Amino acid sequence: MNPLLERLMGMHTITDQVIATDLLNSAKSAVRNYAMAITEAISPEIRSVLERQLDDAIALHEQIVAYMLDKGWYHPWNLKEQLELDVSAIRTAMAIPTS
């Protein structure tokens, strides 16, 4: 989006890192939810559909992780660095105007 339009709409503080982090959290949630749904599915047909959707959700998660690792926004093997990034992302998200 155009930086001027972002500023006018109050979105200038949303960064690619914040968006990617939110997308990663959503992908993790989708994986968890599909896995739970599979355990509750009664029919083999429904279970099969959910398993395909779970596979797609896992693939999306992998793509997001690869992107964030490449950008230096995700450090799953270094807790201290990841905590610093998470705190920074939280501060950025909380600074977004609500109106």
Tens-place pLDDT, residues 23-47: 999 999 999 999 999 999 999 999 9
The Cα–Cα gap between 13 and 86 comes to 16
Please report whether residue 6 resides in a domain.
no
Please report whether residue 2 resides in a domain.
no
pTM recorded for the entire structure: 0.73
pLDDT higher than 90, residue 49: yes
The Cα–Cα gap between 91 and 39 comes to 37
Please report whether residue 5 resides in a domain.
no
Please report whether residue 44 resides in a domain.
yes
Please report whether residue 45 resides in a domain.
yes
pLDDT of residue 38: 97
Residue 19 belongs to what domain range? 13-93
pLDDT grade, residue 6 (50/70/90)? low
pLDDT higher than 80, residue 93: no
Please report whether residue 3 resides in a domain.
no
Within a 10 A sphere around the Cβ of 91, how many other Cβ atoms? 10
Domains in the chain: how many in total?
1
CB 75 within 8 A of CB 82: yes
* Tokens 């939110």, residue located: 22
